[in-house]
Chain A
Amino acid sequence: MNKTARGSLLGIEHLEEKEILGLLKLARRMNPLKARPLLRNKRVVLLFYEASTRTRSSFEIAAKSMSAITTLVQASGSSIEKGESLLDTGYTLRAMGADAIVIRHPAAGAPHLMAQHLDIPIINAGDGMHEHPSQALLDAFTILKHKKSFKGLQVAIIGDIYHSRVARSACHLLTKLGVRVTLCGPPEFMPEVAATLAPGLHLSRHAEEAVRGADVIMLLRVQKERLAGQEIGLQDYIAHYQLTPARLKLARRDAIVMHPGPIIRGLELTSEVADGPQSVIVDEVHNGVPTRMAILAQALGTAR
């Protein structure tokens, strides 16, 4: 196997604590409204094989605010539709002078394949059920804005853990920083094997247990179609796992509620919780831009 291209961000799993903290520190110094042109003359390609609103636009805004030239390539309306392989698309973009590729792909490991064959940084913007590192970093950034430090924090992650790249990246990141993480969901969404993902993970089948005493509650989107044919029905899920004001009261008084979006009101959480004072869901979106600025500047070696 070829060596992974330098500067790539493929996932959180193989990052060290100090690399994570370094990125977060850099993100704090980033201001999209008063950004230095760190990426002047750099070409950043946004290669999106899956639909995305916030990740794609926030990477684009992040890159442009640092004066990069950006191009969006989507599966529909490109050679990808004609059957071009992932690697050939990568080679083509490289030949056009791409300095970095931000890739979102439905297949786990697609960014790794690119990084093994191209000599430019590859940034994973979500690969299948595997990882979504920029989301984990912006969530950590958000947590740090509301909490003094990560040490000793209790975080509950509730929902469809199995299908979630957000959950996998969050588990790696938070456990590396000394956070006590409890995963919560029904067996269909949280198999026992989930506990092996990172050292020190806890599992709970009861939302009340997971939420009690938590500093942070992270909710995951539940896709209705994934509940189809499962033992647990939609109403069951809502009854047992929805974050309601009553359940939220079990958490610490200053607990924050997070969600990577898009949220489904009335499913994983109620409107009262989504719009309540403890919700930082909109803040997360906001923080996506400086976090992704840091990721891009770091990847392209222009961060100082």
Chain B
Amino acid sequence: MSAKSQSREAASLLIKGGHVIDPAAKINAPMDVLLRDGRVAEVAPPNKVRGSADEEFDARGLIVAPGFIDLHVHLREPGQSYKETIASGTAAAAVGGFTSVCTMPNTAPVVDTADWVAWLRHPERGAVVNVFPIAAATSRSRGATLTDFAALQRAGAVAVTDDGKPILDDEVMRAALRLGAELNLPVVQHAEDTRLTAHCSMHEGPTSFRLGLRGMSAAAEANIVDRDVTLAQQIRESRLHVAHLSTSDALKAVRRGKRAKARVTCEVTPHHFTLLDEDVGEYNTNFKMNPPLRSATDREAILVALADGTVDAIATDHAPHATHEKEVEFERAAFGITGLETALALAITKLHREHKIPLARIVELFTAGPARVFDLRSRGSLARGNFADVTIFDPKKRWTFEAAKSRSLSHNTPFDGWQFTGKVVATIVSGRVVYRAE
């Protein structure tokens, strides 16, 4: 982060010479972008911006996109600041090009009251990008008693979830979707039938059998998604969002819901479109997360769904853990990996270069897609009057990711030392440059 740009509060900034990709506005062309007073003032063809600016950003050779939105991060506050803080996690988000992150409530304590939602949004937390809390759907996320959705929403929660755990009980899930429908609040499901996954530490398949590890079946995810989609179809105006979808069969259920015009959305993580269960190798705990890395068939289905529009967003499920929680027996190791700083690079390297998914679609998965999922108004597009959240990246830049240099407090990533193509050059939040690559 350049100290200069942070200290100087430029009232206006002209991003000049770049190529704008703004899927929501159907723009994919060389454009200049003028930001003023925290809003988008003007987007116009090269040298056609009429207004003047205090400062200019030379974006020649770069892509200028709406600020990226991550629907799924664990910033570990309150209570687990040894893993991550809102300050450190949002700094990592800025490096990864994310101008907005949605935080999961499975902290200590669980974010199940309006007070905690307000606490998360308080300026004292030191966030450098926008933080949108997702609150717990049930008290202490125990899956039994619904929280006060209306109060949570008033305090700023953009959705509810028991992430880390599923809302397993049919009646509780039905009630959550009903209440969500009344308030137009999405219910985010961590789809895992935990009755089938006790003591499991990876995907069920040849690799888990070889390693002697108990495996989570694909059905343990798909069955819950299937049930939830059915409920979403039954309950008018209910909104279901499937978190970190990882299996081919769960995708089939989502497609069924979408065809029936139910308000069903889903997200996919970079690690699930990149890695396979067999990459766990000889018990490498940086490849242990939940949902687990799946089979080649599942990954193939995810790649198709990312390309064809079934998937609404790429979300990182950034899940930092301390070294002592990972350098243990595989079965005892914590689930989860960091992901904020490698998401775009993986999307460009894997989805764009290897699988030929157009850049515009990738930008959509980071911007307009997620903005729609949680109704983040005036974000996800560079339409005039929107918040001046902008991500500028070089789609051709080759670089090597070094976990040790990560801004996250934790370094539990499977991508240490990976060579990538595509790198964030600058991240702008409300017109202010919060990250600029050296």
A residues with a Cβ closer than 8 A to B are 1, 13, 85-87, 105, 107-110, 112-113, 117, 127-131, 162, 165, 168, 191, 193-194, 196-197
Q: Could you tell me the distance in whole angstroms from the C-beta of B331 to the nearest C-beta in chain A? A: 5
A107–B214 CA distance with the chains assembled, in angstroms: 11
Near A by CB (< 8 A), chain B positions 220-271 give none
Instruction: Among A108, A193, A194, A197, point to the contact of B330 (Cβ < 8 A).
Output: A108
- CB pair A86–B328 under 8 Å, yes or no, is yes
Residues on A with C-beta less than 8 A from B327 are 85, 87, 113, 117
- CB pair A108–B211 under 8 Å, yes or no, is yes
Residues on B with C-beta less than 8 A from A117 are 327
A193–B324 CA distance with the chains assembled, in angstroms: 33
| B283 interfacial contact with A, CB 8 Å | yes
| Nearest neighbor of B327 in chain A, beta-carbon distance | A87
Q: Could you tell me the distance in whole angstroms from the C-beta of A159 to the nearest C-beta in chain B? A: 16
Residues on B with C-beta less than 8 A from A86 are 328-329
Q: Could you tell me the distance in whole angstroms from the C-beta of A107 to the nearest C-beta in chain B? A: 4
Contact digits for B185-216, partner A, Cβ 8 Å, 1 yes 0 no = 00000000000000000001110011111100
Instruction: Among B206, B283, B331, B332, point to the contact of A112 (Cβ < 8 A).
Output: B283
A86–B332 CA distance with the chains assembled, in angstroms: 11
List 16 extra interface pairs beyond A86-B328, A112-B282, A196-B209, CB under 8 A: A1-B281, A1-B282, A87-B328, A107-B332, A108-B211, A108-B329, A108-B331, A109-B330, A110-B329, A113-B330, A128-B213, A130-B212, A131-B212, A193-B204, A193-B205, A193-B206
Which 8 pairs from chain A and chain B are nearest by CB? A130-B212, A109-B283, A129-B212, A107-B329, A196-B206, A108-B212, A109-B330, A107-B331
Contact digits for B289-331, partner A, Cβ 8 Å, 1 yes 0 no = 0000000000000000000000000000000000010011111
- CB pair A165–B212 under 8 Å, yes or no, is yes
Q: Could you tell me the distance in whole angstroms from the C-beta of B247 to the nearest C-beta in chain A? A: 16
CB<8 Å pairs between A and B, sample of 28: A1-B282, A87-B327, A87-B328, A107-B331, A107-B332, A108-B213, A108-B330, A108-B331, A109-B283, A109-B329, A109-B330, A109-B331, A110-B329, A112-B282, A113-B283, A113-B329, A129-B212, A129-B214, A130-B211, A130-B212, A130-B213, A131-B212, A168-B210, A191-B209, A193-B204, A193-B206, A196-B210, A197-B210
Q: Could you tell me the distance in whole angstroms from the C-beta of A238 to the nearest C-beta in chain B? A: 26
Residues on A with C-beta less than 8 A from B206 are 193, 196-197
Residues on B with C-beta less than 8 A from A194 are 209
Interface centre among B211, B212, B213, B282 (most CB of A within 10 A): B212
Interface residues on B, range: 20 to 34
| Nearest neighbor of B204 in chain A, beta-carbon distance | A193
Residues on B with C-beta less than 8 A from A131 are 212
Residues on A with C-beta less than 8 A from B330 are 107-109, 113
| B184 interfacial contact with A, CB 8 Å | no
Q: Could you tell me the distance in whole angstroms from the C-beta of A133 to the nearest C-beta in chain B? A: 13
Residues on B with C-beta less than 8 A from A110 are 329
| Nearest neighbor of A194 in chain B, beta-carbon distance | B209
Interface centre among A107, A110, A131 (most CB of B within 10 A): A107
Residues on A with C-beta less than 8 A from B204 are 193
Q: Are A129 and B283 also in contact (CB < 8 A) when A85-B328, A86-B329 are?
A: no
- CB pair B212–A1 under 8 Å, yes or no, is no
A129–B329 CA distance with the chains assembled, in angstroms: 13
Residues on A with C-beta less than 8 A from B205 are 193
- CB pair B283–A108 under 8 Å, yes or no, is yes
A130–B210 CA distance with the chains assembled, in angstroms: 7
Residues on B with C-beta less than 8 A from A168 are 210, 212
A127–B331 CA distance with the chains assembled, in angstroms: 12
| B284 interfacial contact with A, CB 8 Å | yes
Q: Could you tell me the distance in whole angstroms from the C-beta of B278 to the nearest C-beta in chain A? A: 11
A112–B284 CA distance with the chains assembled, in angstroms: 10
Q: Could you tell me the distance in whole angstroms from the C-beta of B200 to the nearest C-beta in chain A? A: 12
Instruction: Among A85, A105, A193, point to the contact of B209 (Cβ < 8 A).
Output: A193
